[in-house]
């Protein structure tokens, strides 16, 4: 209850009255909703031309000031003039201007040619100079924003106090809405639009103009991925990218670009993700070093200078730069994600759209602009033609026109008399009456009416375009092709496919001890400690299976498995559990997730990849080749390598050559030969087919290859000094086991 005190000549009296109650829904509807709509429509969310009102008002002010072709002017002057359209204070206007400049490096295609210190997008501490110290003008590229604006291409509306006109949208001749990045937070919704490459966007838009039913897959081939002004590398995941293209929501992962300086043993970070800053990265690096989680780093510093961005990280002497970077990508904003949320205003309504839908809406908007612009030109030409047609009638009798004017007593009767005398309308008569006396001659009038024919052709051409939607689209296509030619740039952000990126896995301390490795012909693998082998070295195998490889090594060694499908799998000995000789062991195809029907045919301990050692491959078609071990070295810890050897013929044998070997080859027609491995050529390409070793008859093939053991197979009479060579028939009863 509220109370009021009544004051008069009578004794004091307290009067109670009921308060006026208002439902909360009514309060929200009347007081809060107008504010919400104002923030969404008039401030935070960009429209189909790619601009928020603050951007649009600023750029139009600069255009009106003649800064598209004139000299630079002080930024303070631009800010002051913009306040006639945008009364939100000079500070916010100048911040908007800064973001649009070339020097700030926020946009792939800046709209403002700047001079002075405008800070940098990748730093929060590099503050821009005050508006009185910097100068600006519009970039030539900005002309594409205003094409047709003086020809009624868009609606012109009153400014906030009704003293000026401003465009409701800018008639951009390209889909700026996805070329310029934009972010805004409204009430209950937000927008975060990443930039795409202008040339790619033009290609994608042209494809949609030619075929409105173009599918997302085709657009993704043309507009490959976002392209950021800061460069970096996009870790391309097709499913994630498809979600962004189809729904307008999703995440794009970006990582820094670096270079290893071998001379100084340091890493130079040259580009960072658009979504982070150097201060955030340095802060995180400081935390990691203090916590002792990055002992590989001895120092780091900001080395940004006039040549561009550079963050230098000094490494400890024993540090591996690739492993350090893999760890940093996992632990710092050197790898970051851009959260896409393509909320855009279309006809005053916020809509979340994918790329194809955005481009379709832009095409509809642009076609409206072009129609209005062409209609404006058409009306101008028609009006001019109308005047010239009246002038043509004057040519028939110039003396009559002079006589009518001379004989007319009152000025207001001149126009009606000309109209009656030449059967022309008031507009034509006004035009004739305004011609100077010196121009009332046959030559002047003939020269003017010569334009009639060309005007009629131009009018017919414009009417033809306006009457045909396909021709309007072709008109836009021609503009887009010209824009791509004039302003298109190569991508700044490199695309790296996710399957080529090695994930950082924290290294665990692995206990080392000596082991014996056993692999059977069927692909069963056992790791046995030497202790468990004492007194029990009899190996158990499945029925029909037998020993293929027997290796002595230690628990921290690395293994390579060559398979019958031309692939190599890497594994660490530590990946396998210790077992006993009486167990079957791990089934390698399952353990290493091999493909269907794939099995190992060769295993080797491979801790390094020297250039002077080779793998030898012998094929069923009688060919063979040596490939340097170094050809199998890869960056990072890749677990699988395809195209390990030629798939032209099935493999018969794989060998490791650290010294010259003697190989025994046997064909299915019971012939054999022995050669030295040095006869085989060395090919640096892994899947090289090699040369013919064993000359085979038609339909014959090699059935086996193994290292020569003189105790098992005396080689006398089978050794060949040159290749290709013909096999020698095996003696009756001789059997060779592979």
- The three state secondary structure string of 701-734 is CEEEEEECCCCCCCCCCCECCCCCEECEECCCCC
Give the 3-state secondary structure of residue 579. Answer: coil
User: Of 553, 552, 571, nearest to 561 (Cα)?
Assistant: 571
Res 328 pLDDT > 90? yes
Environment class of residue 406 by beta-carbon count within 10 Å: exposed (0-12), middle (13-18) or buried (19+)? Answer: exposed
Is residue 225 within 8 A of residue 252, CB to CB? The reply is: yes
| Lookup: tokens for 220 | 């993704």
DSSP H helices in 248-295: 278-290
Least confident of 32-46, 168-182, 250-264, 603-617: 32-46
Residue 420, C-beta contacts closer than 8 angstroms, at least 6 positions apart: none
Read off the pLDDT of residues 631-677 as tens digits, 9 standing for 90 and up: 998 876 778 899 999 999 999 999 999 999 999 999 999 999 999 99
Q: One of 32, 35, 133, 160 is an active-site residue; which one?
A: 133
Read off the pLDDT of residues 130-163 as tens digits, 9 standing for 90 and up: 999 999 999 999 999 999 999 999 999 999 999 9
> What b/e sequence results for 499-530 when a residue is b if at least 16 CB atoms lie within 10 Å of its CB, and e otherwise?
eebeebeeeeeeeeeebbbbbbbbbbbbbbee
Is residue 516 within 8 A of residue 552, CB to CB? The reply is: yes
pLDDT on residue 4: 45
Give the 3-state secondary structure of residue 515. Answer: strand
| Lookup: tokens for 219 | 């657009």
pLDDT on residue 2: 44
pLDDT on residue 42: 67
Alpha-carbon distance of 258 to 267, in angstroms, equals 7
The strand ranges marked E within 378-478 are none
pLDDT on residue 3: 43
- Helix H, strand E, coil C: the string for 72-96 is CEEHHHHHHHHCCCCCCCHHHHHHH
Alpha-carbon distance of 380 to 462, in angstroms, equals 11
Environment class of residue 10 by beta-carbon count within 10 Å: exposed (0-12), middle (13-18) or buried (19+)? Answer: exposed
- Evaluated on CA atoms 54, 128, 91, 193, the torsion sign reads positive
Ordered by where they begin, the domains of the chain are 51-171 (3.90.199.10), 257-333 (3.30.1360.40), 368-487 (1.10.268.10), 514-729 (2.120.10.90)
Looking up tokens 């050529």 gives 681
Res 502 pLDDT > 80? no
Average pLDDT rounded to a whole number, residues 255-282: 95
Sheet holding 297-302, edge to edge: 257-261, 266-271, 311-315, 297-302
Read off the pLDDT of residues 467-496 as tens digits, 9 standing for 90 and up: 999 999 999 999 999 999 999 999 999 999
Alpha-carbon distance of 261 to 532, in angstroms, equals 49
- Evaluated on CA atoms 179, 183, 184, 185, the torsion sign reads positive
The number of residues making up the chain comes to 738
pLDDT on residue 89: 86
Average pLDDT rounded to a whole number, residues 382-387: 90
Is residue 236 within 8 A of residue 202, CB to CB? The reply is: no
DSSP H helices in 24-74: 24-27, 33-39, 53-64
Residue 118, C-beta contacts closer than 8 angstroms, at least 6 positions apart: 98, 101, 103, 104, 128, 129, 134
726 in the Ramachandran plot: left (φ > 0), alpha (ψ -120 to 50) or beta? beta
Give the 3-state secondary structure of residue 309. Answer: coil
Res 427 pLDDT > 60? yes
Q: How confident is the model at residue 6 (pLDDT cuts 50, 70, 90)?
A: very low
Mean pLDDT for the chain overall: 89
Residue 659, C-beta contacts closer than 8 angstroms, at least 6 positions apart: none
- Angle between helix axes 442-449 and 355-395 (nearest 10 degrees) is 150
Least confident of 85-89, 361-365, 438-442, 589-593: 438-442
CA 708 to chain centre: 56
32 in the Ramachandran plot: left (φ > 0), alpha (ψ -120 to 50) or beta? alpha
> What b/e sequence results for 532-562 when a residue is b if at least 16 CB atoms lie within 10 Å of its CB, and e otherwise?
beeeeeebebeeeeeebeebebebebbbbbb
Give the 3-state secondary structure of residue 532. Answer: helix
Res 9 pLDDT > 70? no
| β-pair type (494-497, 233-236) | parallel
Alpha-carbon distance of 192 to 350, in angstroms, equals 13
Read off the pLDDT of residues 677-704 as tens digits, 9 standing for 90 and up: 999 999 999 999 999 999 998 889 999 9
Res 340 pLDDT > 90? yes
User: Of 246, 269, 201, 240, nearest to 339 (Cα)?
Assistant: 240
| β-pair type (558-563, 600-605) | antiparallel
Q: How confident is the model at residue 5 (pLDDT cuts 50, 70, 90)?
A: very low
DSSP 142-171: GHHHHTTGGGTSS-EEE-TTSSSEEESS--
Residue 584, C-beta contacts closer than 8 angstroms, at least 6 positions apart: 524, 526, 540, 541, 542
Average pLDDT rounded to a whole number, residues 408-412: 85
Q: How confident is the model at residue 453 (pLDDT cuts 50, 70, 90)?
A: confident
Q: What single-letter DSSP state applies at residue 196?
A: B
Alpha-carbon distance of 563 to 561, in angstroms, equals 6
Per cent of the chain over pLDDT 70 is 95
Res 609 pLDDT > 50? yes
Environment class of residue 170 by beta-carbon count within 10 Å: exposed (0-12), middle (13-18) or buried (19+)? Answer: buried
Least confident of 258-272, 394-408, 504-518: 504-518
- Evaluated on CA atoms 69, 71, 75, 81, the torsion sign reads negative
Res 63 pLDDT > 70? yes
Say whether 133 is catalytic.
yes
Give the 3-state secondary structure of residue 510. Answer: coil
How far lies 322's CA from each of 116, 266, 496, in Å?
Answer: 38, 11, 16
Res 247 pLDDT > 80? yes
């Amino acid at each position: 209850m509220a109370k009021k005190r009544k004051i008069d000549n009578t004794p004091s009296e307290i009067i109670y009255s009921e308060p006026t109650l208002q439902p909360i829904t009514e309060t929200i509807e009347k007081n809060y909703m107008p504010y919400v709509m104002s923030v969404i429509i008039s401030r935070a969310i960009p429209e189909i031309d790619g601009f928020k009102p603050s951007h649009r008002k600023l750029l139009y002010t600069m255009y009106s000031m003649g800064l598209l072709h004139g000299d630079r002017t002080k930024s303070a002057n631009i800010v002051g003039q913009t306040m006639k359209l945008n009364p939100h204070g000079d500070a916010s206007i100048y911040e908007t201007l800064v973001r649009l400049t070339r020097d700030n490096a926020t946009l792939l295609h800046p709209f403002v040619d700047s001079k002075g210190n405008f800070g940098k997008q990748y730093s929060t501490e590099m503050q821009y100079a005050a508006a009185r110290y910097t100068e600006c003008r519009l970039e030539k590229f900005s002309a594409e924003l205003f094409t047709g604006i003086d020809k009624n291409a868009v609606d012109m509306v009153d400014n906030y106090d009704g003293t000026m006109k401003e465009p409701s949208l800018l008639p951009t001749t390209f889909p700026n809405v996805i070329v310029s990045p934009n972010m805004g937070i409204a009430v209950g919704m937000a927008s975060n639009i990443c930039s795409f490459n202008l040339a790619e966007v033009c290609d994608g838009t042209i494809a949609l103009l030619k075929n409105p039913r173009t599918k997302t897959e085709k657009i993704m081939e043309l507009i490959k991925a976002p392209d950021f002004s800061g460069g970096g590398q996009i870790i391309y995941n097709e499913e994630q990218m498809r979600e962004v293209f189809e729904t307008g929501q999703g995440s794009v992962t970006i990582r820094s670009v670096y270079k290893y300086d071998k001379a100084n043993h340091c890493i130079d970070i040259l580009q960072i993700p658009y979504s982070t800053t150097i201060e955030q990265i340095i802060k995180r690096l400081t935390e990691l070093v203090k916590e002792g989680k990055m002992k590989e780093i001895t120092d780091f510093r900001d080395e940004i200078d006039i040549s561009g961005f550079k963050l230098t990280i000094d490494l400890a002497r024993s540090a591996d730069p690739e492993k350090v970077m893999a760890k940093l990508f996992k632990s710092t904003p050197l790898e970051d994600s851009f959260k896409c949320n393509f909320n855009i205003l279309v006809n005053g309504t916020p809509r979340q759209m994918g790329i194809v839908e955005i481009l379709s809406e832009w095409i509809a908007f642009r076609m409206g602009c072009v129609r209005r612009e062409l209609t404006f030109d058409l009306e101008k030409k028609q009006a001019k033609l109308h005047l010239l047609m009246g002038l043509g009638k004057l040519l028939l009798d110039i003396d009559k026109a002079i006589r009518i004017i001379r004989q007319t007593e009152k000025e207001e009767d001149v126009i009606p008399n000309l109209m009656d005398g030449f059967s022309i309308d008031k507009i034509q008569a006004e035009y004739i009456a305004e011609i100077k006396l010196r121009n009332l001659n046959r030559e002047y009038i003939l020269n003017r009416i010569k334009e009639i024919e060309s005007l009629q052709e131009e009018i017919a051409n414009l009417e033809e375009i306006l009457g045909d939607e396909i021709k309007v689209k072709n008109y836009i296509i021609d503009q887009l092709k010209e824009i791509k030619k004039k302003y298109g740039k190569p991508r700044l952000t490199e695309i790296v496919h996710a399957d080529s990126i090695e994930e950082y896995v924290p290294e665990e301390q692995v206990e080392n001890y000596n082991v014996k490795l056993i692999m059977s012909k069927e692909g069963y693998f056992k790791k046995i400690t030497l202790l468990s082998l004492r007194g029990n070295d009899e190996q158990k195998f499945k029925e029909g299976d037998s020993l293929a490889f027997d290796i002595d090594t230690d628990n921290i060694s690395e293994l390579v498995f060559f398979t019958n499908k031309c692939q190599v799998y890497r594994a660490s000995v530590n990946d396998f559990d210790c077992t006993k000789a009486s167990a079957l062991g791990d089934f390698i195809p399952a353990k290493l997730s091999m493909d269907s029907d794939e099995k190992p045919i060769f295993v080797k301990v491979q801790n390094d990849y020297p250039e002077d050692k080779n793998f030898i491959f012998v094929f069923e078609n009688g060919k063979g080749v040596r490939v340097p071990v170094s050809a199998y070295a890869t960056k990072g810890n890749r677990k699988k390598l395809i195209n390990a050897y030629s798939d032209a013929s099935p493999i018969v044998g794989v060998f490791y050559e650290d010294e010259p070997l003697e190989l025994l080859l046997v064909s299915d027609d019971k012939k054999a030969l022995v050669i030295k491995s040095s006869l085989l050529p060395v090919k640096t390409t892994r899947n090289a087919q090699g040369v013919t070793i064993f000359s085979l008859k038609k339909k014959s093939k090699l059935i086996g290859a193994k290292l020569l053991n003189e105790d098992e197979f005396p080689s006398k009479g089978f050794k060949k000094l040159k290749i290709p060579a013909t096999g020698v028939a095996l003696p009756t009863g001789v059997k060779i086991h592979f």
